Structure 1
Amino acid sequence: MKTNILGLPVEASQSIVNELNVLLSNYQVYYQNLRGIHWNIKGKRFFDLHLKFEELYNDSQLKIDLIAERVLTLGGVPLHTFEDYLENSTITIGKNIFKDEKAIHLIVNSLSHLLIIERTVFNAATAINDEGTSSMLSDFIGEQEKTIWMMQSWLEEGI
C-alpha cells in the first residue's frame, strides 16, 4: 500500500480530501446563510440574535479555514469557487429570512446536516488512523451538538 508523506494511505487520503471538500462546500453555504440572517433579522430579539449570528458566522469562518488547510495538509486542493460550493453542497439555502424562529430552525437544520457529513468523514479518517482529521472533526462535532442543544432550548423544543 502506497502512503503519503504523512504515512497515510494515498487512495484513502484522496477520498477523505474529496469528503472534506464536500464539507467545505456545505460550510460555505452555512456561513453565507448565517451572514444573511445576521443582516436581515428583525423583531424584538434583534440585538441578541444579531450578535449571536455574528458569533456563529465568525466561528464558521474559522472552521472553513481549518477544513481548507486540512485538505492542503492531505495533499489536496480545497474548493474555492461559488460554483464549486453550490455544486457540492446539499445544505438548505436560507433566503430572505427575517423571523427569529425561522432563522434558528435554519441553523439547527444546517448543523444537523453538517454533523452527518462530519461523522462520515470522521469515521473514514479514523479507519486509516488520520488523527489530524479525526481530531478536528471531533472538536467540530462536540461544539455543534452543544449549539444545537442551546438553539433547541431557545426554541423550547428540547432534543
Structure 2
Amino acid sequence: MPSKPESLPLNIGIDDASRAKIAEGLSRLLADTYTLYLKTHNFHWNVTGPMFQTLHLMFETQYTELALAVDLIAERIRALGYPAPGTYSEYAKLSSISETPGVPKATEMIRLLVEGQESVARTARSVFPVVDEVNDEPTADLLTQRMQVHEKTAWMLRSLLEE
C-alpha cells in the first residue's frame, strides 16, 4: 500500500504571515458576503407592497450574484493555504453586517441592503494594503471586482429611495 504523501509546502511567492493576513481579511469578506446573501434572500421572500415585482426580481438577481461570489472568495482563501470559514457561528463572529429581525417594510429593506452592500465594499477595501504590499494580484483582482459590484448595487438600490 502506498504511503501517504508528505504535505508540500505552499510556495506561491507570498510569505506565510502575509498569506495568513490576506486569508483573515478574505474570511471577513466571505462572512459579510454570505450574511448579505442571506439577508437579501430573506427580503426576496418577504417583500410586499407596490414595488413588490421590481424588488422581488432585483433581490433575486442580487442574491444569485452573492451566491456565486462566496464560492470565489472561499476558493481564494483555500488557494492561499487556509481553510475557508463555513458556519453561521463563524460568520456571526467575522461579519460586519448584523441580522435584521422581523420583516421590515420594503423601503427599509432597500435601506438595509444599501448599508450591507457598502459594508461589504468597505471590508473588501480594507484587505488591499497587505495585498498590495506583497503583490497578490489574484486577490487584488477579486477585491476590485467585488468592490465594483457592491458599489454599483448600492447606487442602484439607493436610487430607488430618491423622490
| Same-fold call, TM cutoff 0.5 | yes
Q: How many residues are matched? A: 155
Amino acid at match of 2:154: I
1:1-159 equivalences under 5 Å are 4-156=10-162
Amino acid at match of 1:84: E
* Distance in 1 separating the partners of 2:149 and 2:96: 21
* Distance in 1 separating the partners of 2:138 and 2:73: 11
* Distance in 1 separating the partners of 2:89 and 2:74: 16
Deviations 1:2-61 (A, max 9, x none): x94211111111111111111111111111101110111011111111011010000001
Which residues of structure 1 form unaligned runs of 5+?
Answer: none
118-127 or 132-141: which moved more? 118-127
Deviation of the 1:154 alpha carbon: 1.3
Which residues of structure 2 form unaligned runs of 5+?
Answer: 1-8
Q: Percent identity?
A: 33
* Distance in 2 separating the partners of 1:98 and 1:120: 30
Scaled by the length of structure 1, what TM-score is found?
Answer: 0.92
Higher Rg: 2
Scaled by the length of structure 2, what TM-score is found?
Answer: 0.90
* Distance in 2 separating the partners of 1:31 and 1:83: 16
